[in-house]
Structure 1
Amino acid sequence: MLAIVSAIVFGLGFLLDLLDARIAGNISGTTFMLLGLTLLALHQAGIGTASVKSYGGGGWRGRTRR
């Protein structure tokens, strides 16, 4: 989910940079690019990802040995 949001933020930042526009509060395309990188880093760290439960109920780690 964070990767999709990151792609949207990168797109907005790219458009703002192309148009050389700024949003109120001095927010430019570079700000959106940095926000996109932050969201992408969080996605790569595993934050915001859903774990899929298997039939064994192991979650994202799988089955544990006992």
Structure 2
Amino acid sequence: MLAIVAAIIFGIGFLLDVLGIDIPGGISGVTFMLLGLCLLALHQAGIGAGSTGGFLGGSRRT
């Protein structure tokens, strides 16, 4: 899930960078790209991966 959000953030950052748009407050395309990298790092660490079939999660086979 975080990888999908990161891809969307990368897309927004790419468009802002290509079009040269800066949002007031110092937010630019580079800011979105760094946020996307942070989300990808969290995804690789296993955070937000969803259910892994642990104690209360996952599906049961009967």
Structure 2 stretches lacking a partner, 5+ long: 55-62
Give SS of 1:14's match: helix
- 1:33 counterpart letter in structure 2: M
Q: Which has the higher contact order (CA 8 A, sep 6+)?
A: 2
What is the aligned partner in structure 2 of residue 51 from structure 1? 51
How far apart, in 1, do the equivalents of 2:52 and 2:44 lie?
17
Larger radius of gyration between Structure 1 and Structure 2: 1
The number of residue pairs the alignment matches comes to 54
What is the aligned partner in structure 1 of residue 57 from structure 2? none
Q: Once the two structures are superposed, what CA deviation does each residue of 1:7-43 show, in whole Å capped at 9, x if it has no partner? A: 0000000000000111121100000000000000000
What is the aligned partner in structure 2 of residue 26 from structure 1? 26
RMSD: 0.8
Runs of 4 or more consecutive aligned structure 1 residues displaced over 2 Å after TM superposition: none
How far apart, in 1, do the equivalents of 2:12 and 2:31 lie?
10
Give SS of 1:32's match: helix
